[in-house]
Amino acid sequence: MKLILASGSPRRRELLEMTGLKFEVVTSDADENIPEGTDPGIAALEISQRKALAVARLDRCKGSVVIGADTIVSLDGRKFGKPKDAEDAYRMLSALSNRTHTVYTGVSIVNSDLTVNKFVESTEVHFYPLSERQINDYIATGEYSDKAGGYAIQGGGAVFVSGIIGDYYNVMGLPIGRLMQEIRKIH
């Protein structure tokens, strides 16, 4: 079985490497726009499927098993994707301060015959109260860039987290335990 990760995320690559599986990385150019009001779990699932199918349909990837993933942070029904800039990151982190938010990761596994197996994992994350200075100091590191919700739980953003309920790796962008269970079911 040739396995492909349809993601340029270094975090997803590191997590999949932990499994010992051999895989290749092929990034997707799939459209990640979802209509406003779409449930965040459904949105993450839809985007993950778009990414995986876009890669699976490439000539060089035909016959492979392709994994696509997308992570969305949600608070009070609002979706927080990757911040556009430092100001957007500040807005997100201020909103998450002293609150519990949910991190959704949609995962799609496309088989060689283009059938799709998919699931969504959710994890609740609670933040300590954050001061303006804490947020600005964190933003100055640049770590917020390319992170759903504007923080990295495995990096400097860890100091914001007072607790989680669910899969830690889901917050990093790939619920690796569940992914392996799903791969074992189909292969």
- What CATH number did the domain enclosing 83 receive? 3.90.950.10
Residue 84 CB contacts under 8 Å (≥ 6 apart), including other chains: none
Q: Look up the domain containing 7 and give its range.
A: 3-186
- Within 10 angstroms of residue 134's Cβ, the number of other Cβ atoms is 15
73, 172 Cβ separation under 8 angstroms: no
CB-based contact 150:80 (threshold 8 Å): yes
User: What's the number of domains the chain is made of?
Assistant: 1
Model pTM score: 0.93
Distance between start and end Cα atoms, the chain:
9
Active-site residue numbers? 70
Strands 116-127 and 100-110: antiparallel
Instruction: Tell me the pLDDT tens digit for each residue of 95-148.
Output: 999 999 999 999 999 998 999 999 999 999 999 999 999 999 999 999 999 899
Task: Read off the amino acid at residue 131.
Answer: S
Distance CA 148, CA 70 (A): 9
